[in-house]
């Protein structure tokens, strides 16, 4: 472990410089390696404490006075050693593990003795913190690199690298709920929601929705072919370069993922895709707007439910959109218009192509402000019988806040919470604003 400080002296300046000069993608890799190099200094700090203790024991046995009259004094040497021991443990904190200022501080602390030796040789008992070995340099370098790779792999496995993705959309927002929080929220929803059979439901519209849509267990013609397409996507190992414009955009501007990994993490469950098919089939909208095509499974359900309905779907990632278009061709869907680009730029254009919006599904950005903004734009083109669905309303604190904002809008007369999606109604037949939770 004595070589770790020496390796750091050579490696840290290079990584700090590269993190300032290279482009964003490689900058993240250099920051991750710097974080691991910083953490490896923990081994050196522990070794340093052990050596200091051994030096103290030896001095005690031989009767040496470490300090005159055995009075401890806090000088630069003591401060430096304390910092060298403490600072590496701070690098365990993910937010500062690749902090350049702290890294430069460690570099200065480790180089200090060497610099002093070059200027003026020392004759006291102080030992140099940095030791440049001349023997077995290759073996020690290999040893250090082995540890670097091992700890990097360990940190990657436990998702502790400073720029590592940690979730469906990236690890995404600070307010995203953990799996345990989601489980607790789902239990709360389940016990507070009305049953899915319609018993005791006094709203005629919602009762009709439960009986004729939620509980419609017919197997429609499109189900098998859309699910066959889903199965193909789940086994597609094609690598895509993706630009994430939603809640996962704070890490890499571009990231590579296989089609299969996107299908596993991003596609709506079968029952929700088929629910939207049944809603379009039952309510017969003439226009449908979808924000967030992804791989096109939900889009296919929406379009196949009523083949003369005009469906416009928006997707921000070009290569993902290409996969969706391929699926539309395989399924022989001709009533979908896919528009590529950031929703901030394409939504207004899409709305202009529709005389009004009868049915909308918002699944493109899981942050509060964009979601509210998109909803308000859609609301302006909606009417009394429009139905708007928001995806993942309990996915994060921001999405729950957006859902509550929508519920309190004066134009909204009723909402239906199915936990993973929220249905918004504007129908004036609801004389008072009502909010329903239904098990599904």
Average per-residue pLDDT for the chain? 84
pLDDT of the residue at 248? 44
Residue 133 has pLDDT above 60, yes or no: no
User: How many other C-beta atoms lie within 10 A of the C-beta of residue 165?
Assistant: 18
Residues 348 and 229 in one domain: yes
Residue 132 has pLDDT above 70, yes or no: no
d(CA 433, CA 360): 21
Task: Give the largest Cα separation in the chain, rounded.
Answer: 97
Residues 111 and 205 in one domain: no
State CA 83 to chain mean position distance. Answer: 34
For residue 173, is it within any domain?
no
Mean pLDDT across 341-356: 92
Residue 35 has pLDDT above 80, yes or no: yes
pLDDT of the residue at 353? 92
Residue 169 has pLDDT above 50, yes or no: no
Q: Which of 355, 354, 367, 415 is nearest to 388 (CA)?
A: 415
DSSP letters, 167-220, are SSS-S--TTBPPHHHHHHHHHHHHHHSBPTT-TT---HHHHHHIIIIIT-----
Residues 120 and 190 in one domain: no
pLDDT of the residue at 252? 38
Token pair, residue 254, equals: 């571009």
pLDDT in tens, 256-300: 789 998 998 889 899 999 999 999 999 999 999 999 999 999 999
For residue 190, is it within any domain?
yes
What is the total count of domains within the chain?
A: 2
Residues 372 and 417 in one domain: yes
**Residue bearing the bigger pLDDT, 145 or 163:** 145
Q: Where are the beta strands (DSSP E) in 341-382?
A: 359-362
Residues 93 and 202 in one domain: no
For residue 174, is it within any domain?
no
Domain range enclosing 343: 179-437
pLDDT of the residue at 135? 55
Dihedral pair phi/psi, residue 390, rounded to 5°: -105, 130
pLDDT > 90 fraction of the chain, expressed in percent and rounded: 48
By residue count, the chain amounts to 440
Mean pLDDT across 73-102: 85
pLDDT in tens, 377-397: 999 999 999 999 999 999 999
Per the DSSP assignment, residues forming a β-bridge with 436 are 416
Is pTM beyond 0.75? Reply is: no
Residue 55 has pLDDT above 90, yes or no: no
User: Residue 173's pLDDT band (boundaries 50, 70, 90)?
Assistant: very low
Residues 105 and 150 in one domain: yes
pLDDT of the residue at 69? 64
Residue 24: which H helix or E strand, with range?
A: helix 24-62
Residues 107 and 200 in one domain: no
pLDDT of the residue at 300? 97
Domain CATH code at residue 352? 3.40.50.150
Give the gyration radius of the chain's Cα atoms. Answer: 30
pLDDT of the residue at 147? 86
pLDDT > 70 fraction of the chain, expressed in percent and rounded: 85
pLDDT in tens, 210-240: 999 999 999 998 999 999 999 999 999 999 9
Residue 171 has pLDDT above 70, yes or no: no
* Cα pseudo-dihedral 187, 193, 196, 201, rounded to 10: 170
For residue 395, is it within any domain?
yes
Last residue of a domain, one of 157, 190, 212: 157
Residues 224 and 364 in one domain: yes
d(CA 393, CA 303): 24
Instruction: Say which DSSP state 236 is in.
Output: -
Strands 359-362 and 387-391: parallel
Strands 359-362 and 336-340: unpaired
pLDDT of the residue at 70? 63
Contact of 395 with 363, CB cutoff 8 Å: no
Return the minimum-mean-pLDDT range out of 82-86, 295-299, 311-315, 415-419.
82-86
d(CA 178, CA 236): 28
Task: Collapse the DSSP code of 355 into the 3-class scheme (helix H, G, I; strand E, B; otherwise coil) and give the result.
Answer: coil
């Amino acid at each position: 472990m004595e070589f770790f400080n020496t390796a750091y002296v050579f490696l840290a300046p290079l990584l700090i410089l590269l993190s300032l000069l290279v482009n964003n993608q490689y900058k993240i890799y250099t920051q991750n390696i710097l974080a691991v190099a910083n953490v490896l200094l923990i081994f050196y700090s522990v070794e340093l404490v052990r050596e200091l203790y051994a030096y103290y024991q030896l001095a005690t046995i031989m009767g040496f006075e470490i300090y005159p009259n055995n009075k401890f004094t806090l000088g630069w040497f003591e401060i430096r050693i304390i910092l060298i021991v403490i600072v590496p443990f701070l690098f365990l904190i993910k937010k500062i593990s690749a902090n350049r200022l702290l890294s430069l501080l460690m570099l200065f602390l480790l180089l200090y003795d060497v610099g002093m030796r070059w200027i003026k040789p020392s004759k006291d008992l102080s030992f140099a913190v940095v030791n440049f070995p001349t023997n077995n340099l290759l073996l020690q370098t290999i040893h250090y690199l082995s540890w670097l790779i091992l700890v990097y792999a360990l940190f990657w496995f436990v998702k502790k690298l400073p720029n590592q993705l940690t979730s469906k959309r990236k690890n995404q927002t600070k307010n995203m709920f953990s799996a345990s929080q989601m489980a607790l929220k789902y239990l709360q929803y389940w016990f507070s929601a009305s049953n899915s059979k319609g018993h005791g439901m006094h709203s005629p519209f919602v009762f009709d929705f439960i009986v004729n849509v939620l509980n419609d267990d017919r197997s429609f013609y499109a189900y098998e072919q859309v699910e066959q397409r889903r199965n193909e996507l789940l086994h597609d190992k094609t690598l895509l370069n993706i630009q994430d414009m939603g809640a996962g955009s704070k890490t890499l501007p571009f990231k590579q993922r296989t089609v299969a990994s996107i299908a596993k993490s991003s596609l709506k469950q079968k029952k929700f895709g088929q629910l939207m098919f049944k809603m379009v089939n039952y309510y017969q909208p003439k226009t449908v707007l979808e924000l967030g095509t992804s791989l096109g499974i939900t889009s296919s359900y929406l379009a196949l439910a009523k083949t003369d309905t005009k469906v416009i779907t928006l997707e921000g990632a070009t290569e993902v959109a290409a996969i969706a278009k391929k699926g539309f061709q395989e399924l022989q869907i001709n009533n979908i218009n896919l528009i590529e680009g950031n929703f901030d730029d394409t939504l207004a254009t899409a709305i202009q192509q529709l005389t009004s919006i009868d049915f909308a599904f918002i699944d493109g950005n899981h942050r509060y402000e964009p979601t509210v903004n998109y909803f308000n734009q859609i609301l302006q083109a909606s009417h009394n019988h429009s139905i708007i669905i928001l995806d993942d309303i309990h996915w994060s604190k921001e999405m729950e806040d957006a859902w509550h904002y929508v519920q309190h809008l004066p134009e909204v007369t009723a909402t239906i919470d199915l936990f993973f999606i929220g249905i918004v109604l504007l129908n004036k037949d609801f004389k008072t604003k009502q909010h329903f939770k239904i098990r599904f």
